[in-house]
Amino acid sequence: MRTSPSLRRKLISAAAVSAALLSVGTASVAVAQDAPAEAAAVPAALTEAAPGVQAERLIVGYKSGAAEATSNKAAEADAAAKDADFQRRLGTGAALVDLGANPSTAEVADAVAEFKADPQVAYVVPDRLNKPQADPNDTEYAKQWDLFETTAGMNVPGAWTTSTGTGVTVAVIDTGYVTHSDLAANIVAGYDFISDTAVSVDGNGRDSNPADPGDYYAANECGAGIPASTSSWHGTHVAGTIAAVTNNSKGVAGIAYGAKISPLRVLGKCGGYDSDIIDAITWASGGSVSGVPANTNVAKVINMSLGGDGACTSATQTAINNAVSRGTTVVVAAGNDNENVSGHSPGNCNNIISVAATNRSGAKASYSNYGSLVDISAPGGQTSTGTANGILSTLNSGASTPASESYAYYQGTSMATPHIAGLVALVKSANPALTPAQIETAIKNNARPLPGACSGGCGAGLADAAKTVAAVSGGGTTTGTTFSSSTAVAIPDNGSAIESPITVSGRSGNAPSTLQVGIDITHTYRGDLVIGLVAPDGTVYSLKAASSSDSADDVRTTYTVNASSETANGTWKLRVQDTAAQDTGTLNSWKLTF
């Protein structure tokens, strides 16, 4: 007999969930040990579906046509039949279910396996905990090297004569907003999406007040061995980089200071859950979320400076895809683990702009994630070489609860991401007709090579605000010549590589150092795929390696290749191979943009 959820729930191990998801057809499901009885109500469980990562609750997506996909009553009945509790409908239509208080490992395994075996279920993923991607570390424009310095700045002042972001709302999905006079004039209504009071620490669940009460915690409160932390005021720092009030004779300048910020609170004590983030993405972009009033400040840009370990789940990817289809550009931190972003969500999701961080010399910051899924780099700072080498923005001096407003230097891909979100706002304001895909292409095509070193892949280079805004405003080129193939090619399961050719002609000289390779592949487990670009002379450029931790569907992204040593004209090929059994897919189309 299952009891109602309590504040001291045992946690579902995401290792168990992953095993159930990946062991189709097996009779047994591996499960991890129960969490110790003294586990915190909301542990600092990192975030993603990877071995050893914990999560509580499940997000269940039903296939279209299933009664459970639209009827809460049907979803509730289905959850009850599987010994689970239906909690609510997410903005994407998925159902959030709870396994109750103190579930045994057998109950966890049975519930996951039962949902997975249901033919009406499209996916079942853990409701994971996400955390800010920043290392906290102090006021004036002259200290904002990241905006204007020649070596590693983003050349922002040159864009301001054309665009300041007027008419664009940026949703900052983060810890909320603490009042700051250098931001207040650019803040519009947002929402508090934290449904669990143990996370929200503001005394209630969801409401229209996104004020940040502080996310401090005591030693071991967020997990055994995790030291105490003061409040980060993370969302306010991010918001200041994007749209701090400018030309007001105080504080710092915002990149898109003519834009507005809608603060959406999803991160609280010890982090925040996927389910709340999914609803925030949906609502920010104009979608409907049950129990939440319609959004009157629909955002054309979403900033997510958050994330953790694991694959991009179908639940999160669906929310992102829906947001992009509504015309909203989603900008996400690549992560701060000095690892390939392919293992870190949501920076490894499709249909986003994934951002790596650079230091004051223009090299990849030591902590920044990297890889072929990174789209662009931006200043994130490196305080280990000096506090002033971090990113200065708006903050609060309170160690726990709000005190006086302040400014501080932080570092992280959390700080790099709002640089790109601010640039997207500048671009969208300069040319409102541009789609998210066109905006991403413009930013990539007008980036400049990293001034410093990057091993592993830092996207198209260091973003250049002035050059990008000039391009979309008619003062430059947003895209080069594109050659494409729309001939669909089946990808055999665990078979030989397939190749799709594109013949390039009419070009002179060599290919560019920022050759854009756009790919559209549907596949039921993209971690199986190895993808390479074959130049006319036979040279192979690796775009994607196989990854056992990348369990999401499909590959819809753009890779940047330094093909400057290759003659442009000739037959280029995209080579794709499925290297493991049980999943299939199709190369739908691909393109080369010179």
Active site residue 174: yes
Please report the pLDDT score of residue 133 as a whole number: 60
Strands 191-192 and 260-265: parallel
- The counts of H helices and E strands in the chain are 12, 29
Of 135, 196, 234, 285, the active-site residue reads 234
Active site residue 578: no
Structure token digits, residue 134: 């920043």
Question: Mean of the pLDDT values across residues 476-502?
Answer: 82
Structure token digits, residue 428: 């969208």
In a domain, 568, yes or no: yes
Last residue of a domain, one of 126, 154, 178: 126
**Residue 151 sits in the same domain as residue 297:** yes
Please report the pLDDT score of residue 554 as a whole number: 84
**Residue 179 sits in the same domain as residue 84:** no
- CATH code for the domain of 77: 3.30.70.80
DSSP states of 78-121 as a string?
Answer: HHHHTT-EEEEE-TTS-EEEE--SS--HHHHHHHHHHHHH-TTE
Of 78, 127, 135, 174, the active-site residue reads 174
Last residue of a domain, one of 428, 445, 473: 473
**Residue 227 sits in the same domain as residue 166:** yes
Please report the pLDDT score of residue 401 as a whole number: 97
* Rg, the chain, Cα only: 23
**Residue 518 sits in the same domain as residue 466:** no
**Residue 395 sits in the same domain as residue 527:** no
Q: Which residues of 462-500 are buried (b: 16+ CB within 10 A; e: fewer)?
A: bbbbbbbbbbbbeeeebeeeebebeeebebeeeeebbeb
In a domain, 273, yes or no: yes
Task: Specify which residues 443 forms β-bridges with.
Answer: none
**Residue 439 sits in the same domain as residue 487:** no
Average pLDDT, the chain: 86
In a domain, 34, yes or no: no
Segment 294-341, tens digit of pLDDT = 999 999 999 999 998 999 999 999 999 999 999 999 999 999 999 999
Cβ–Cβ under 8 Å, residues 564 and 458: no
Report which of 306, 324, 80 is spatially closest to residue 193, judged by C-alpha positions: 306
Cβ–Cβ under 8 Å, residues 374 and 334: yes
Please report the pLDDT score of residue 56 as a whole number: 67
In a domain, 281, yes or no: yes
- CATH code for the domain of 306: 3.40.50.200
Higher-confidence position of 101 and 384: 384
Higher-confidence position of 3 and 311: 311
Structure token digits, residue 539: 């040279």
In a domain, 131, yes or no: no
**Residue 554 sits in the same domain as residue 443:** no
- Calpha distance 198→354 (Å, rounded): 30
- Calpha distance 362→379 (Å, rounded): 8
**Residue 218 sits in the same domain as residue 273:** yes
Please report the pLDDT score of residue 55 as a whole number: 52
Of 229, 345, 414, 551, the active-site residue reads 414
pLDDT at 26 over 60: no
Cβ–Cβ under 8 Å, residues 287 and 326: yes
Can you give the residue range of the structural domain that contains 418?
Answer: 141-473
474 Ramachandran zone, left/alpha/beta (phi>0; psi -120 to 50): left
**Residue 187 sits in the same domain as residue 63:** no
Burial of residue 83 (CB within 10 Å: 0-12, 13-18, 19+) is middle
- Calpha distance 352→280 (Å, rounded): 16
In a domain, 1, yes or no: no
**Residue 442 sits in the same domain as residue 327:** yes
In a domain, 62, yes or no: yes
Number of domains in the chain: 3
Give the chain's largest Cα–Cα span.
73
Please report the pLDDT score of residue 311 as a whole number: 94
SS3 letters across 109-120: HHHHHHHHHCCC
What share of the chain has pLDDT > 90, as a percent? 70
**Residue 420 sits in the same domain as residue 313:** yes
Q: Could you tell me what percentage of the chain is helix, strand and coil, using 3-state DSSP and rounding each to the nearest 5?
A: 25, 25, 50
Segment 116-142, tens digit of pLDDT = 999 999 999 888 877 776 443 437 798
| pLDDT interval class at 195 (50, 70, 90) | very high
| pLDDT interval class at 429 (50, 70, 90) | very high
Active site residue 127: no
In a domain, 341, yes or no: yes
pLDDT at 160 over 50: yes
- CATH code for the domain of 544: 2.60.120.260
Last residue of a domain, one of 427, 453, 473: 473
Segment 177-194, tens digit of pLDDT = 999 999 999 999 999 999
Please report the pLDDT score of residue 480 as a whole number: 60
**Residue 179 sits in the same domain as residue 262:** yes
- Calpha distance 244→181 (Å, rounded): 9
- Calpha distance 125→55 (Å, rounded): 10
